[in-house]
Amino acid sequence: MANQDKTNRKHSALLVDGIQKSPARSMLRAVGFTDQDFRRPQVGIASTWSEVTPCNIHINGLAEEVAKGVFSAEAKPIIFNTITISDGIANGYQGMKYSLVSREVIADSIETVVGCQGHDALIAIGGCDKNMPACLIAMARLNRPALFVYGGTIQPGKNHTDIVSVFEAVGAHARGDINEADLLAIEKSAIPGPGSCGGMYTANTMASAIEALGMSLPGSSAQEAVSPEKREDCHRAGQAIRWLIENDVKPSDIMTRPAFENAITLVIALGGSTNAVLHLLAMADAVNVPLSIDDFTTLGKRVPVLADLRPSGRYLMSELIQIGGIAPLMKRLLAKGLLHGNCLTVNGKTLAENLAEVKDYPANQNIIMPFDKPIKADSHLRILRGNLAPTSAVAKISGQEGTLFTGKARVFNSEEESMTAILGGQVVAGDVVVIRYEGPKGGPGMREMLSPTSAIMGRGLGNQVALITDGRFSGGSHGFVVGHITPEAMVGGPIAIIEDGDTITIDAEKNEINLAMTDEEIQRRLSAWVAPEPNVKRGVLAKYAKTVGSASEGAITDKF
């Protein structure tokens, strides 16, 4: 950089300048610092590389590309690691309780390293459901120049398969539609290599939202993990940090209320994951932007679902990339007045400026529908209330499963109990599967219900059975599903007093979810309810259960 004075080194100068900081410089020399490096801004590069999941297996190489870009921008790159977990691997057993917890652990760890080490800026590379919003939460808390790089999506498996294909094959096997050899063949070929799960599941949803938010470079969310474009994206991200540092542009300058509205709008248009509700609320809270769960309803009334993407649709992210990614969709939304074009982004341009030269989709494509022929005329993300969820629930209603469901409750106090019943044929058409004590405090950890929803789909009951829970759903879940029911069972929400055979109605037009029960009967049952003993009393899950807030506010842990 042209100017290497302390204005570009607000944090690192306090760490390495002057006689008294000789011990710190001595330590840093041992990890490769030169005399010149001490005069450069220090850029922390948070890598979520791990061998635990294909989503992140390649990120070490991407971090090295980012570092090259940072160095070419005359700053000092410093790569450090944080953890990640795999929802796709952990789904369906007790370990999944650590999934949402990991969002907080990752955010805390990035904040801890950058805050302690005096980095002047931060570039974070994420590739899976929880580490991506975690990176943004850490950036917001630190509020120093920062940008995000998406690790990229996976390529399709054989016969157009992906991870959800495997989950649904388990249900198909239980129904007798496929044999064990067929299931094994799908298992062996659905995940061909590095990258995040291939549909518009949570990873691709959050990558798209973060780009619309302005916190990643244009195009970062719509690139395959193993591609020259992704490596170039990493190099350019390293270079882009220069402008942010020189102009002292911080996340709070970019992550504004209008920018969050842009992110929500794009998530709806793409038919994205319900997890976006949790994560965007948490990200907004971290940067002190007022955002409520009802904003999803307000925006959803005027934004249609336009993308025919899995899980409810037909296509994979890699196929959307082939026709131009999300940028042409954002340009269409902008032209309709549905995006705020004057929002600043990390490359120094406004959203409108970034979209100005973007070409529209090819005329013969079938992935992104025109406004006059939407997949759904308004949002698929429905914020429901009623006597079953007084402070809100989140439904994912694509329209294919209908918008109204009334059925009899089949109540389970854990995900495992429900899976035994579903795979054993005990759940039948007309049932409303109730899975409770899986909320943020009750689980603890708010497990995803991808295994039960996939088993229901695999058994051919997708349009005949509803599922409600105080847990949450994978971006790969589809069907008539309602999650994030609050108050959750563990704190005495009405979901705790549902009994087998109770009638439940879910109305996605009126945005209501109700028990066919008088207020007096609900109160009578609640007065007799006794809170169960916590599942865990020590360790990270216990700490999480004690500090986590309601899912209706993003399930955050640092607001007391």
Catalytic residues: 474
Enumerate the β-bridge partners of residue 146. 122
Distances in Å between the Cα of 445 and the Cα atoms of 169, 410, 437, 556 are 26, 23, 10, 11
The pair of three-digit structure tokens given for residue 493, joined into one six-digit string: 């929400």
Q: What angle do CA 122, 125, 127 make, to 5 degrees?
A: 155
Task: Give which of 175, 78, 177 is closest to 122, Cα–Cα.
Answer: 78
Sign of CA dihedral 260, 477, 271, 216: positive
Instruction: Classify the phi-psi angles of 348: left when phi > 0, otherwise alpha if psi is within -120 to 50, otherwise beta.
Output: left
The pair of three-digit structure tokens given for residue 398, joined into one six-digit string: 């694509």
Distance CA 267, CA 10 (A): 36
Distances in Å between the Cα of 440 and the Cα atoms of 102, 396, 437, 461, 462 are 12, 19, 9, 28, 26
Distance CA 102, CA 537 (A): 18
Distances in Å between the Cα of 451 and the Cα atoms of 93, 211, 473, 489 are 9, 30, 9, 21
Q: Which residue has the tokens 């694509």?
A: 398
Cβ contacts of residue 30 below 8 Å, gap of 6+? none
Beta strands at 121-126 and 431-435: parallel, antiparallel or unpaired: unpaired
Burial of 159 (C-beta count, 10 Å sphere; 0-12/13-18/19+):
exposed
Distance CA 318, CA 223 (A): 8
Beta strands at 431-435 and 76-81: parallel, antiparallel or unpaired: unpaired
DSSP letter (8 states) at residue 53: -
Phi, psi of 260, rounded to the nearest 5 degrees: -65, -35
Enumerate the β-bridge partners of residue 23. none
Burial of 253 (C-beta count, 10 Å sphere; 0-12/13-18/19+):
middle
Instruction: Classify the phi-psi angles of 70: left when phi > 0, otherwise alpha if psi is within -120 to 50, otherwise beta.
Output: alpha
What number of other Cβ atoms are within 10 A of residue 532's Cβ?
Answer: 12
Q: Are 24 and 16 within 8 A, CB to CB?
A: yes
**Secondary structure class of 216 (helix, strand, coil):** strand
